[in-house]
Amino acid sequence: MDLPSRIVITEEGPREGFQIEPGPITTADKIALIDALSVTGLSQIQVASFVNPKHVPGWADAELVVAGFAPRVGVSYTALWFNDSGLQRALAFRGKLTLAGFISLSASEPFALRNLNRDRAGQIEAMQNYARLHWQAGVPIAKIIVMAAFGCNFGGDVPAAKVVETVSDGLSIAREAGIEVREVSLADSMGWATPRRVAAAVGAVRDRWEDLRIALHLHDTRGQGIACAYEGLRLGVTAFDAAVAGLGGCPFAGQPGAPGNIATEELALLCEEMGIATGLDIEALIEAGRLAERIVGRRLPSAALRSGTLASLRRKVGP
Amino acid sequence: MDLPSRIVITEEGPREGFQIEPGPITTADKIALIDALSVTGLSQIQVASFVNPKHVPGWADAELVVAGFAPRVGVSYTALWFNDSGLQRALAFRGKLTLAGFISLSASEPFALRNLNRDRAGQIEAMQNYARLHWQAGVPIAKIIVMAAFGCNFGGDVPAAKVVETVSDGLSIAREAGIEVREVSLADSMGWATPRRVAAAVGAVRDRWEDLRIALHLHDTRGQGIACAYEGLRLGVTAFDAAVAGLGGCPFAGQPGAPGNIATEELALLCEEMGIATGLDIEALIEAGRLAERIVGRRLPSAALRSGTLASLRRKVGP
């Protein structure tokens, strides 16, 4: 097997989780989870969403959360925003946050129409404005996010050619705005990915853009997330998003109770047990996951929270 | 990818699930689940365990359950037993049950010592007696089950060489009893498997016995089950055990609340979405899984119960 020697996992639990939980979750609890995650070895944590509180009430306290957590040296804290108002709010935390935007485009037009009221041209126009804003503010664009990269509850299957077209749109938008983008994230928030679709999409993007770094943002909606992540590892993908304890879920998928992102500690376990370094302290992650469970007040999907690490069992067994 | 065109999934939910659930679960409920599973396209269902009710009170009603379900043509209904008393109880259902024994050997001696009070020699002796009993009764041995084939909570990592040694023990036992065995099941009831360990164990057994059919019995204890199943598919494994809704768990693992077997409907989904035939009606399986949840009265691990199939979404989307 041609597995990578090291990967980077971006923790999205706080941002993904607190946007979808019915809550209300206190600002102090959000800060406590971020602080717990900061000591797990994570190098990237997405901590907040600067979105319209009318649409996402769970993030009405984004400023308080970002102001409140204790940043740790060596960790990049990021946030999400979709427009100028969000960008301006984030700019107030320049320094504490690693500011970078994301050009988000849906590979499924029905998804974009339904949730953003935008067709392909409308998506492109919105992202052109978004990119321009970032250029003006001197804020980089970290990556192109291809939403619904594997399939869509409202549009059905998404062929790899559509993913390539969407990446191409994103790269054009960035280029026209004078911004360099080196990474594309293939996102499966509705849980359509299988290992075969991961291989097809990753292969098609690589065939076209040899130098573009590919990241996978996988959900475990139908229990396939970790198999898809493993296929990504086999293909040499080295960047993954995940959420501690499997926090999150897709607010647009219309499937309440379905799991969210793949669980950070389970992906880390898969990697560490196969000799792929993650830099993560899996036991500290599990502790953070248990804290997340106490905070949201319900059982979260991660199996590893129940069973713990193999390393801890090896210690009990002894040499 | 070199995936098989078809696999066979043996459903172990009733047997695995009802042995570990605190219950009590009524006989009628057990029968209802078996009957629901019978119409899902499964060709193999393990319906009961003829074990000592003092040790496994959940199966005190094994006779009533086996007498009560409505067998469907084309489905093999199997049961489990460990000694003569169990075999005799099963023999009363010759005809309704497809009777076959399993030579079970733990690849981890600490596991066998702790749970069966037997060292390697003791295990071999017990299984020699077991095989002799089956020869006398004219009941075949369906397979050798290697317990703790990937690792053990009490013994730590299990190298592939130990798996080979255990299979070799099992084949010798069968041969000495004049019984032919064509299949070996590598079982991971404590959740130590990773794709890499699956590849190592399957590879080692194949290298030694080219014609032996290999089956995988995977648990999702740490969320790695479906990735391990996918690795099995990649290696051309065509026989898997699974449990509807992810019923079950390892009674000896000492990890209450950890998931049990991989969920039948999630494995079926993985296969069907990659073009591997299973013969299963995944939506009927999900319905049976929801019935299992109502019966056990708690949320079972399967994500697919929450999110449903992609086929159902495709139907909504239309052509």
Number of domains observed in the structure of chain A: 1
CB B229 within 8 A of CB B261: no
Query: In this model, does residue B27 exceed pLDDT 90?
Result: yes
Nearest CA in chain B to A223: B303
Q: What is the mean pLDDT of chain B?
A: 95
CATH number of the domain enclosing B50: 3.20.20.70
Question: Which residues does chain B have within 8 Å of residue A259's beta carbon, measured at their own beta carbons?
Answer: 303, 306
Closest of A194, A86, A58, A313 to residue B309, by C-alpha? A194
- Would A3 be classed as within a structural domain? no
Domain of B299 in residue numbering reads as 8-317
ipTM for the whole complex: 0.96
Task: Between B254 and B285, name the one with better pLDDT.
Answer: B285
Give me the mean pLDDT over the B55-84 stretch.
Answer: 95
CA B268-B234-B184 angle, 5° bins: 80
Measured distance CA(B315)–CA(B301) in Å, rounded: 26
Question: Which residues does chain B have within 8 Å of residue A314's beta carbon, measured at their own beta carbons?
Answer: 156-157
- Would B270 be classed as within a structural domain? yes
Indicate the residue of A196, A199, A304 with minimum beta-carbon distance to B223.
A304
Measured distance CA(B185)–CA(B100) in Å, rounded: 14
Q: Which pLDDT does position A91 carry in this prediction?
A: 98
Q: Which pLDDT does position B252 carry in this prediction?
A: 67
Whether A306 and B110 lie within 8 Å, measured CB to CB = no
Whether B313 and A258 lie within 8 Å, measured CB to CB = no
Query: In this model, does residue A250 exceed pLDDT 80?
Result: no
- Would A42 be classed as within a structural domain? yes
Query: In this model, does residue B41 exceed pLDDT 80?
Result: yes
- Would B219 be classed as within a structural domain? yes
- Would B279 be classed as within a structural domain? yes
- Would A256 be classed as within a structural domain? yes
- Give the pLDDT confidence of A96-141 residue by residue, as tens digits: 999 999 999 999 999 999 988 999 999 999 999 999 999 999 999 9
- Would B2 be classed as within a structural domain? no
H/E stretch holding B218: strand B213-218
Measured distance CA(B20)–CA(B193) in Å, rounded: 21
- Would B1 be classed as within a structural domain? no
Could you tell me where the DSSP H helices lie in B104-154? 109-116, 120-137
A226-230, A312-316, B21-25, B97-101, range with the lowest pLDDT: B21-25
- Give the pLDDT confidence of B133-175 residue by residue, as tens digits: 999 999 999 999 999 999 999 999 999 999 999 999 999 999 9
Nearest CA in chain B to A314: B156
Q: Which pLDDT does position A252 carry in this prediction?
A: 67
B250 catalytic residue (yes or no)? yes
**One of B152, B228, B250, B271 is an active-site residue; which one?**
B250
Residue A270 CA from chain centroid, whole number: 18
Q: Which pLDDT does position A204 carry in this prediction?
A: 98
Question: Which residues does chain A have within 8 Å of residue B273's beta carbon, measured at their own beta carbons?
Answer: 194, 196-197, 224
Q: What is the mean pLDDT of chain A?
A: 95
Spatial neighbors of B319 by CB under 8 A, at least 6 apart, are none
